[in-house]
Amino acid sequence: MTNFITDIQSYLQSYFQPTNTHAAACALSEDELEQLIASGTYPSASYQVQHHFQCTSFVADKKQHTNQAWHRSSHQNWHQALKQNHIKTETQAFELFTSIYLEAHQVHFDSPLGQAMQHFWPTIATLPEEVYLNASWSYFQQGVYGVCSRDGLPETIFKKQCGVKFIDHLMAQQAQFSNVEVEQILQIIDWLDHAAAPFAPHETATSSRQRCIINARIHFRQFLTADNISR
């Protein structure tokens, strides 16, 4: 139990901020931050941590319960984007989120790595449907991507979603791959690695990082022939 508490505290302090610290980083009061969240323009805290303390002795029995919200530190960059673009409403915020997301989509699939992905899966570059973007926006508002992507921001969210979808697709194919193809796949996994969150220690085993990065590297490396292994 002590290791779990130490590990989660270290993880949260590395990537997240409690509400008061996060509000200050955004040059907001805590009330102003909560108002932004309530307006639907800013993501909620990604973690809620409850502490239960009890100290019992011959003299007294003392109990205390606290709840602390932790926000992704890099979400303050979203606050800056809201200010710079004069965003006031949820509709405007969604439009900004979508424009950044779709720009990341286009830039990636115009790149050599994105074109390599299309070699394996020709339709992966199809633009996401509105229902998919709406769902992504909803998860963003809930703070979900603060947990599962590297910075919880729209461009990185696209990369995380795209990479996971691609690796899951290839893993399901049960196909054979040449050394050149495996090298391309491993480059894509590296790209995903930079977009995916490290996850808290107690989350890793059931996370997309375990499935699509850790396990996937092992899976695809087995296709490399002995005379051409570079990784």
Enclosing domain of residue 31:
2-73
User: How many Å apart are CA 84 and CA 179, to the nearest integer?
Assistant: 46
Taking alpha carbons only, the member of 64, 67, 62, 73 closest to residue 14 is 73
Among 91, 75, 66, which residue's Cα sits nearest to residue 22? 75
Residue 90 has pLDDT above 70, yes or no: yes
Claim to verify: residue 96 and residue 198 sit in the same structural domain: yes
pLDDT mean over 160-176: 94
pLDDT for residue 128: 92
The reply to whether 110 and 212 lie within a common domain is yes
The answer to whether 174 and 201 have CB atoms below 8 angstroms apart is: no
Nearest to residue 168, comparing CAs of 104, 120, 225? 120
Quote the pLDDT of residue 2: 54
Q: Whole-angstrom Cα distance, residue 145 to residue 122?
A: 27
For residues 136 and 179, membership in a common domain is answered with yes
> Is there a single domain that holds both residue 24 and residue 54?
yes
Verify that 64 and 81 share a domain, yes or no: no
Q: What is the DSSP string of 77-137?
A: HHHHHHHHTT--SHHHHHHHHHHHHHHHHHHHHHSHHHHHHHHH-TTTTSPPPHHHHHHHH
Q: Provide the pLDDT for residue 162.
A: 98
At 171-223, the pLDDT tens digits run 998 788 999 999 999 999 999 999 999 999 999 999 999 999 999 999 999 98
53-74 residue pLDDT tens: 889 998 889 888 889 999 999 9
Q: How is 12-70 classified by DSSP, letter by letter?
A: HHHHEEEHHHHHHHTT--HHHHHHHHHTTSSPPPSEEEEEEEEEE-SS-EEEEEEEEEE
Per-residue pLDDT for 231 more than 50? no
For residues 136 and 68, state if they share a domain: no
54 compared with 113, residue with greater pLDDT: 113
Number of domains in the chain: 2
Least-confidence region, from 16-30, 41-55, 184-198 = 41-55
When the pLDDT of each residue in the chain is averaged and rounded to a whole number, the result is 94
- Over 70: is that where the pLDDT of 86 sits? yes
**What's the pLDDT at 226?**
57
CB 116 within 8 A of CB 182: no
The per-residue pLDDT for 3 is: 86
The reply to whether 56 and 97 lie within a common domain is no
138, pLDDT greater than 50: yes
- Domain end (from 15, 50, 73): 73
Same domain, yes or no: 151 and 48: no
Band of pLDDT at residue 78, cut at 50, 70 and 90: very high
Residue 124: CA count within 13 A, CB half-sphere: 26
Its pTM stands at 0.91
- Give 31 or 226, the one with higher predicted confidence: 31
